[in-house]
Structures are given as structure tokens and as C-alpha cells.
Amino acid sequence: MDSVTVVAVVSIATAGITTGIGCMCPALGEGRAVATALTSLAQQPDASATITRTLFVGLAMIESLAIYCFVVSMILIFANPFWSHVIAQTGGK
């Protein structure tokens, strides 16, 4: 197997792992945040505006992690920064 194929396989595998973990973990975090917010709302209904606003800001922060992982995986698949280095090392073969 030549080095270009190795870089391609590693890039695709890393993109898959990044997308898998990068979507699974934020989803678990969002579920836990919503569950905690609902518990807080049940205990203190008067603070619903503050809890809801804080929940939405927290969910946006958690979701940004999933978006960053998606962007990294797309870069690894379509705009891999290692391609030019590997092609230069192999002489364009």
C-alpha cells in the first residue's frame, strides 16, 4: 500500500470516528442538560425564564461542539491538508 492510500484510509477512518463521537457525546450532554433543566423547572417554576434562557445558551454551546466535529470531518474528507505534503513526498505518483 502506498503512502497516498494510507493517508486516504486514515483520513476517512478519522473522519468517521470524529463524526461518530462528535455527534454522540453532545447528544448525551444535551439530553442531560434538558433533563436537569426540567427537574429545576419542576422544583422552581418561578425561575422558569432564567432557567429556560440559560438552558438555550447551554444547548447552543453544546451543539457548537457537534458542528465543529462535523467541520473537522468534512475537512479531512474533502480538503485534507496532508494531501499536498504526501503528493510532494511521493513525487506526484
Domain 3-86 -> CATH class: mainly alpha
pLDDT in tens, the chain (93 residues): 777 888 888 888 999 999 999 999 999 999 999 999 999 999 999 999 999 999 999 999 999 999 999 999 898 888 887 777 777 777 766
- All three cell numbers of 49, joined, read 425564564
DSSP state of 31: H
Residues 15, 20: Cα–Cα separation, whole Å: 8
Q: What are the residue boundaries of the structural domains of the chain, listed by start? A: 3-86
What's residue 39's pLDDT? 96
Contact 15, 76 (CB under 8 A): yes
Q: How far apart are the first and last CA of the chain?
A: 13
DSSP state of 81: T
